[in-house]
Amino acid sequence: MKILSRWTGINVETRNFDSVFDKQKSPCVVICNHQSALDTIVMAHAYPPRGTVMMKRSLAYIPIFNITAWLCSVIFVDRFNREKAMKAVEQCTQVMNKKNLKLWVFPEGTRNRSLDGMLPFKKGAFNIAVQAQIPIVPVVASSYKSFYSHTDHYFDSDGEIIIDIMDPIPTIGLSLDDVPTLADEVREKMLVVYERITKEVNEKMAVKRGEKKNQ
């Protein structure tokens, strides 16, 4: 994706990747804000070593794709069945600890097409982290709104994205009763970073476009 995304003209700056993931050798849950299909570009620049994802079980029956997913240690879950989903959480933690995997999750659950802020976080990623007693690593991508909008139908080929990988947040000693508070607190911390780096991006875009006009 790093190579394929070059045609878009989007410039990506990734911060703290080495300083965080060089230290985080053990399993963790990586959470990232979810904006659009362009998130694949963010994943290409911030995907952790030994990373994996969870997918709907129905995708496990797509030929060729399912073989690739199996080779990537993808964890399939039945997202519409609560009982099976809870069992999947247990299976997920076992697989992560056994294979030393880092699980990438978009906790908003769906794309935030407004490209403003973040939707409320669902609890699944936090349930996994707490049950496994492993850290949560927040990854925050700046808003794409300065160059892209699905609802307003525009895409400019001079986009800038800043990705900030935050310090791991421990879950040792927490229980499932602590999950709602934990999810809210992590979201608030991510929003602070999101506002800061989005402001930086908007300033960079203003300078870039000002320079173009002067040429």
Going by C-alpha positions, the residue among 7, 45, 13 that lies closest to residue 142 is 13
For residue range 89-113, list pLDDT tens digits in order: 787 888 888 889 999 999 998 887 7
Question: What's the distance, CA 124 to chain centroid?
Answer: 14
CATH architecture entry for 4-214 = 3-Layer(aba) Sandwich (3.40)
For residue range 111-149, list pLDDT tens digits in order: 877 778 999 999 989 999 999 999 999 999 999 999 998
Helix (H) or strand (E) holding 12: strand 11-15
Q: Quick one: pLDDT at residue 111?
A: 81
Give the span between the Cα atoms of 115 and 209, in whole angstroms: 21
Q: Where are the domains of the chain?
A: 4-214
Provide the mean pLDDT of the chain. Answer: 90
**pLDDT value at 17 more than 80:** yes
Q: Is residue 86 very low, low, confident or very high in pLDDT (cuts 50, 70, 90)?
A: confident
What separation in angstroms does the CA of 46 have from each of 59, 82, 140, 148? 24, 30, 10, 20
Q: Which of 24-28, 55-59, 161-165 has the lowest mean pLDDT?
A: 55-59
Q: Quick one: pLDDT at residue 82?
A: 65
Q: Is residue 159 very low, low, confident or very high in pLDDT (cuts 50, 70, 90)?
A: very high
What separation in angstroms does the CA of 113 have from each of 9, 37, 101, 188? 21, 10, 30, 19
pTM above 0.75, yes or no: yes
Torsion angle in degrees (nearest 10) through CA of 47, 114, 36, 137: 10
Q: Quick one: pLDDT at residue 7?
A: 84
Going by C-alpha positions, the residue among 124, 106, 99 that lies closest to residue 49 is 99
Q: What is the mean pLDDT of residues 184-203?
A: 97
Give DSSP secondary structure letters for 18-64.
Answer: HHHHTT--S-EEEEE---STTHHHHHHHHPPTTEEEEEEGGGGGSTT
Look at 38 and 83; give whichever has higher pLDDT: 38
Q: Is residue 208 very low, low, confident or very high in pLDDT (cuts 50, 70, 90)?
A: confident
Q: Quick one: pLDDT at residue 212?
A: 63
Helix (H) or strand (E) holding 164: strand 160-165
Return the residue matching tokens 């229980």: 175
Q: Quick one: pLDDT at residue 79?
A: 64
Contact (Cβ atoms closer than 8 angstroms) between residue 194 and residue 140:
yes
